[in-house]
Amino acid sequence: MTVHTPSPREREVILLIDDAPDTVRMIAEALDAAGYTVLVATDGATALKRLERITPDAVLLDACMPGMDGFETCRRLKQAPGMRTVPVIFMTGLAETERLVEGLSAGGIDYLVKPVVPDELVARLRAHLRVAREMNAAMRARGEEAEPAVAQLPNPLTQREMDVLEWVARGKTNRDVAEILGMSPRTVNKHLEHIYEKLGVETRTAAVAQFGRLARP
């Protein structure tokens, strides 16, 4: 029996909002291994800007961040086009019931207590994504319009960055890309750093997952 492996464009997109680098790295690696594309924002303002380019399938949100906290971020996320049925899961070190209630009232659907256990996070995320898919399918069956995804903004990458990403998407190593495009491996690495930053991703796989969308005319 042939097992179907999802292509990068079939991977569901998770917006991870947290200002702790170690937490971001651990969760991003776990989600990538579980088959998700991860977009990262380190604060609420950056997360809202991410929504101008793409609508995620789910959001993982740190409750305690400097500046705009997680609760206000959630309220604003939920006001954005296409976000009404997107599940938001809070991650918090807070045990106070009042703050947890505040998070759910702001539009969150669940919460995880830090330090987050990757297996538990993935299991809960899968459950909420399944419910969201079923909800959207039921809305369509009733003739209701599921909220349209936000219109995609122009490609933020330069042509040279797109050339690099295209060859990476074809499975080439950095050294291969350097030889094909006539540049040094160090220059390829620098282009990839810029690509990750512009796309708000942490991994090579996550960047490749967005190539199909960016390459569309």
One domain, residues 36 and 92: yes
Least Cα distance to 31 among 130, 124, 161 occurs for 124
Q: Same domain, yes or no, for 21 and 107?
A: yes
State the pLDDT at residue 196. Answer: 86
92 in Cβ contact with 110 (< 8 Å): no
Residue 2 lies in a domain: no
Domain that holds residue 115: 8-141
Kindly state whether residues 23 and 85 are assigned to the same domain: yes
Residue 182 counted as domain residue: yes
Task: Specify if 150 maps to a domain.
Answer: no
Cβ neighbour number for residue 51 with a 10 Å cutoff: 22
Find the DSSP H helices in 80-203.
Answer: 97-105, 118-141, 159-169, 174-181, 185-199
Residue 216's pLDDT band, with cuts at 50, 70 and 90, is: low
Does 127 share its domain with 170? no
Question: What CATH number should be reported for the domain holding residue 176?
Answer: 1.10.10.10
Q: What is the pLDDT of residues 55-73, one digit of tens each?
A: 899 999 998 888 888 889 9
Instruction: Give the mean model confidence (pLDDT) for residues 4-8.
Output: 42
Q: Answer with the one of 107, 141, 175 that is the final residue of a domain.
A: 141
52 and 127 fall within a common domain? yes
Mean pLDDT of 193-201: 83
pLDDT given at position 41: 92
User: Domain count of the chain?
Assistant: 2
Q: Is residue 151 part of a domain?
A: no
Position 59 scores a pLDDT of 96
pTM: 0.64
Give pLDDT tens digits for 137-188: 776 776 655 554 444 456 788 888 888 988 888 888 899 999 888 889 999 9
